[in-house]
Amino acid sequence: MLTSYTIEGFENIQYQGFKALSDIEKKLNHLFRLYGYHQVATPTFEAYDLYAGEDAIPSDDLFKLVNHQGKVLALKPDATMPVARMAAINHHNPEEIIKFFYLTNLYRNFSSPDIVKKEITQMGVEFFGDERPECDGEIIALAIESLFCNGITDVQIDLGHVGFINYLLDELDITPEDRAMLFKLIDNKNIGDIHDFLSRRNFDPKISGIIAQLPMLYGDPVTVFKKMDALCVNRRMEAVVRDLKAVYHHLDIIGMARYITFDLGFTSAMNYYSGMIFKAYVGNWGAPVIDGGRYDTLSAKFGIDRPACGFAIDILELMDYMEQHDLLNHQVSPHTVILYRPGDKCQAFHLCRGLRSDGTITEMFRVDDTPEALIPQLMNQALYRPSRFFLIDGGSLYKWQDSRFIPILDIDGQKGDA
Amino acid sequence: MKIKIALAKGRVAKKAIALLTDIGYLFPDYSEDSRKLIFTDTTEAIEFFLVKSPDVGTYVEKGAADIGIVGRDVLMEHPAKVYELLNLNIGQCRMCVAGYADTRIQFNKKLTVGTKYPNIAKQYFNSIDQPVDLIMINGSVELAPILGLSDCIVDIVESGSTLRENGLVVLNTICDISSRLIVNQVSLKTKSAYIDPIIHRFEAMAL
């Protein structure tokens, strides 16, 4: 059985899909370059130790292998950490501005309740060395642009900040387990269970009251800002509001504010995020296609303390959305197929060389018996359906039209004579 | 824009429809034996359909429904990426370990457990470090200890009358169960003008 060789969680990309995929990648590549980003690549394998300490990706979800020296490796489960490390290794001045983009496959158990995807394709940007709101603004605007350039207009950015919840919980004497539990409940907007949870703990009622409001702290930025102002209980929370206001103000000036909504009740699975975080939704698609945020403390792990901000696009998820909304270009360009008799080989190759140098996709097949039989056989094959067929026989050119060969003088001006 | 609501067939559906009526959405063409699949309320603000309870989370996660009403037991057994917004305080019951009154849970010995909820049972027994053999049973779970198929069962208990009639008792309560209002994570943001008023009505009833 063929199926027994299929591994769950991995996908083939058919030729039509691959063309659509590379179209998307080309557009993004162009866009990122226009913004001054440089493309980089990091190895497929990573030292397992790099991820072992991160509780963001449970080590059970990693693909591990042992190399010839007995060192444990992992298939790259995340793109940001390797790129941050690369920036740290090659650029030692922490003040340096570094703008990178990448296209990579990632491997891990991306377990959502019913999907067992194990390989995804991500394209993303990382902007190192700038902690001002304009940098956040550029990253968010670039995320929006990267959807626009693929013909998607129904874009919504959900903007949050990891600090707001964390600095609030810092007011409490709370165990790491309780903190994680609360994050999960707030992330699920599970208001019922949050009330239950808080009623079973001896927390300051004022703080508990604010925690209970976090799940509903979403929507139109201006309204959310008003609510946030009233909820701050310390300087650091006030600073978060100031930061977000500055980013929002920047986006307003550059005309991107209409795509922004706020949600201070979402957290990120990746625990390297240290400030603003965001997700991009398209239409009513059930999953975000872009994830991003600020990670000012990650680079210090690799020896260079520098602020950074970036995002990644889940390309295959984006492609699924575009497929469902007819935004993909599946048009396979028609091939020119030239059949030749053994004696016409030299002329046929000249002809093909000429056509290819004009940019025409050209294929050739030798015919020994009846070309009339070969053509219908080819036309029935998926890869040759949108093709046009020609024949060279005894030095003369023919075109296949209405099920017969019609003599012609040239193909697109090419005759094939030496 | 009509907001689509998925209701879990069975125990929860009746109470959920009564609740929808209480908060002001009337479904004149709904009756229990109706062959229609989708019912729209008189104000055309919402429509609901009935699906098997484990599917409610799937419909809502994928956005085929904006809102779902389903028991917490189902969400625990079949987790979905959704906002578990409100506890509706309907369909209340408990997730319990039940068996004969003289069943001793011995921590040094493997316990055989019959259940419709293998995930919940596994998590619970893991959390108390009790080694178990789980037997998946799809209905009439009470039969398992009676016929000697298992030492005990994990199931939802509403009044306890089924257990009593079969000579079984609750040995341990795992957690309380009630129906939840779940919302698609994207709909909540993108259709908030339509969804918020519905949620506020539910909220007013639930509190």
CA dihedral A76, A77, A80, A82 (to 10 degrees): -30
B80 touches chain A (CB under 8 A): yes
Element housing A122 (H / E): strand A116-128
Phi first, then psi, for residue A268 (nearest 5°) are: -115, 145
Q: What is the pTM assigned to this prediction?
A: 0.85
Between residues 104 and 163 of chain B, which touch chain A (CB distance below 8 Å)?
none
Q: Count of alpha carbons within 13 Å of A32, Cβ hemisphere only? A: 25
The pLDDT confidence band at residue B133, using thresholds 50, 70 and 90, is: very high
What chain A residue is nearest to B192 in terms of C-alpha separation? A219
Sole residue written with tokens 């030239």: A338
Instruction: Pick B180's closest partner by Cβ from A158, A192, A285.
Output: A192
Report CB contact under 8 Å: A113, B81: yes
Report the relative pairing of strands B93-99 and B67-71 from DSSP bridges.
unpaired
3-state secondary structure of A77: coil
Chain B nearest C-alpha distance from A278 (Å): 14
Per-residue pLDDT tens over the stretch A121-130 = 999 999 999 9
Residues on chain B touching A281 (C-beta within 8 angstroms): 186, 189-190
Per-residue pLDDT tens over the stretch A135-161 = 999 999 999 999 999 999 999 999 999
Residues on chain A touching B4 (C-beta within 8 angstroms): none
For chain B, which residues make up each domain, given as ranges?
3-91+178-206, 93-176
B87 touches chain A (CB under 8 A): yes
Report CB contact under 8 Å: A286, B61: yes
Residues on chain A touching B202 (C-beta within 8 angstroms): none
Mean pLDDT score across all residues of chain B: 90
CATH dotted code for A15-162+255-324: 3.30.930.10
Per-residue pLDDT tens over the stretch B186-205 = 888 888 889 989 998 888 87
Report the amino acid identity of residue A46: E
Cα gap B75→B127, rounded to integer Å: 19
Cα-based distances in Å from A225 to A248, A376, B196 = 10, 67, 19
* Chain center to CA of B26: 24
B179 touches chain A (CB under 8 A): no
What chain B residue is nearest to A115 in terms of C-alpha separation? B80
Per-residue pLDDT tens over the stretch A318-355 = 999 999 888 887 777 789 999 999 999 999 999 999 99
Report CB contact under 8 Å: B84, A193: yes
For chain A, which residues make up each domain, given as ranges?
15-162+255-324, 336-414
B190 touches chain A (CB under 8 A): yes
Eight-class DSSP state of A54: -
The pLDDT confidence band at residue A369, using thresholds 50, 70 and 90, is: confident
Residues on chain B touching A156 (C-beta within 8 angstroms): 189-190
Phi first, then psi, for residue B41 (nearest 5°) are: -80, 165
The pLDDT confidence band at residue A117, using thresholds 50, 70 and 90, is: confident
- ipTM of the complex, rounded to two decimals: 0.80
What chain B residue is nearest to A259 in terms of C-alpha separation? B190
* Chain center to CA of A190: 29
Interface residues of A toward B, Cβ cutoff 8 Å, are: 112-114, 156, 158, 188-193, 196, 215, 218-219, 261, 263, 281, 284-287
Chain B nearest C-alpha distance from A317 (Å): 13
Q: What is the largest CA-CA distance in chain A?
A: 96
Residues with Cβ within 8 Å of residue A411, at least 6 apart in sequence: A336, A338, A351, A355, A390, A397, A399
Report CB contact under 8 Å: A113, B57: yes
pLDDT above 70 as % of chain B: 97
Report CB contact under 8 Å: A189, B180: no
CATH dotted code for B3-91+178-206: 3.40.190.10
Residues on chain A touching B187 (C-beta within 8 angstroms): 284
Chain A nearest C-alpha distance from B58 (Å): 8
Residues on chain A touching B186 (C-beta within 8 angstroms): 281, 284-286
Chain B nearest C-alpha distance from A110 (Å): 13
pLDDT of residue B34: 82
CA dihedral A48, A52, A55, A61 (to 10 degrees): 50
Q: Cβ(A338)–Cβ(A363) under 8 Å?
A: yes
Element housing A124 (H / E): strand A116-128
CATH dotted code for A336-414: 3.40.50.800
DSSP chain B: -PEEEEEETTHHHHHHHHHHHHTT---TT--TT---SEEE-TTSSEEEEEE-HHHHHHHHHTTSSSEEEEEHHHHHHS--SSEEEEE---S-EEEEEEE-TT----TTS-EEEEES-HHHHHHHHHHTT--EEEEE--S-TTHHHHTTS-SEEEEEESSSHHHHHTT-EEEEEEEEE-EEEEE-TTHHHHTHHHHHHHHHHHHHHH-
Among the CATH numbers 3.30.930.10, 3.40.50.2300, 3.40.190.10, 3.90.79.10, which is that of B93-176? 3.40.190.10
B31 touches chain A (CB under 8 A): no
Residues with Cβ within 8 Å of residue B187, at least 6 apart in sequence: A284, B3, B63, B66, B67, B195
pLDDT of residue A3: 60
